[in-house]
Amino acid sequence: GGTIITERHVLTASHCKPERNQALSVVLAEHKVSSKTESRTTIIDVTQFITHEEYNRRGNTENDVALLVLASKIPFGKTIGPACFPKANLNIVGQKVRVVGWGALYSNGPQPDILQKVDLDVQATSACSRVYRGITEGQLCTYTPKKDACQGDSGGPVIWRDPGTNRYTIVGIVSYGDECAKPGAPGVNTKVSAYRDWILQKIQQTAPGSATCQNK
């Protein structure tokens, strides 16, 4: 999965990059995979898959962030638009966030035909560290009993509705977990606010001036 953040960029996870160089495209405004009548669906080729320079160093799970650079501009409109960036010091522990994707309906289960969503609670880093080793402040943990992201949701958005602006803000990138909705096992996501500077730098280097949530 991925999240539109500018008219030329999609945010995703480094671990989603294919092992071999292969042609990639993004599908935008998709809702029902089997439908042939979704005329608003847009497909755009990917020209660059930029992974974080420190991802997978020393065998850890942090820095799981990547940026897709698109061949042409995304046509923003009623059904397609960018998510907003979080503030650098945003703290939403204890609040609800939403994960969206076409991941499996349960561990090793079938993929859905229709886009799914699930609301989860943000956990403190300390609670997550009791389950997984190596959790850092660059990660965002979520846990709600019997609910979770699952296989196929990786790279997709963890979004939070900012009560101040009423806009959806991208606060996390789905990274990993222990099975799906396993009791006591949170989902681990990349915390977008921790990589804000890296993301903005790559945007400036590849397509400066691209329209974002703030200036579209």
Give the architecture-level CATH label for domain 3-81+195-206.
Beta Barrel (2.40)
Task: Quote the CA–CA distance of 159 and 166 in Å, as a whole number.
Answer: 12
- At residue 216, the pLDDT reads 46
Give me the catalytic one of 52, 64, 153, 210.
Answer: 64
The 3-state secondary structure of 187-213, one letter per residue: EEEEEHHHHHHHHHHHHHHHCCCCCEC
Dig out the tokens for 197 from the structure: 């500077």
**Cβ within 8 Å of residue 19, ≥6 positions away:** none
Confirm if 2 and 12 have CB atoms less than 8 A apart: yes
Active site residue 210: no
Superfamily of domain 96-193: Trypsin-like serine proteases (2.40.10.10)
pTM listed for this prediction: 0.93
- At residue 75, the pLDDT reads 94
Q: State the number of CA atoms in the 13 A half-sphere of 50 facing the CB.
A: 18
Give me the catalytic one of 14, 52, 148, 154.
Answer: 154
- At residue 29, the pLDDT reads 85
Task: Quote the CA–CA distance of 131 and 36 in Å, as a whole number.
Answer: 43
- At residue 57, the pLDDT reads 63
Active site residue 126: no
Active site residue 154: yes
Dig out the tokens for 194 from the structure: 């921790």
Q: Write phi, then psi, for 200 (nearest 5 degrees).
A: -65, -35
Task: Quote the CA–CA distance of 97 and 92 in Å, as a whole number.
Answer: 9
Cβ-count burial 87-119 (b if 16+ within 10 Å, e if not): eeebebeeeebbbbbbbbeeeeeeebeeebebe
Each domain of the chain, given as residue ranges in start order, spans 3-81+195-206, 96-193
Task: Quote the CA–CA distance of 116 and 104 in Å, as a whole number.
Answer: 10
Residue type, 91: N
Mean pLDDT in each 10-residue stretch from start to end of the chain (216 residues)?
Answer: 96 92 90 75 95 82 96 93 90 96 91 93 95 94 96 95 91 95 96 96 94 70
Task: Quote the CA–CA distance of 184 and 182 in Å, as a whole number.
Answer: 6
Q: Do 96-193 and 3-81+195-206 fall under one CATH topology?
A: yes
Dig out the tokens for 205 from the structure: 């280097």
Count Cβ atoms below 10 Å from residue 198 Cβ, excluding itself: 16
Give the SS3 label for residue 57: helix
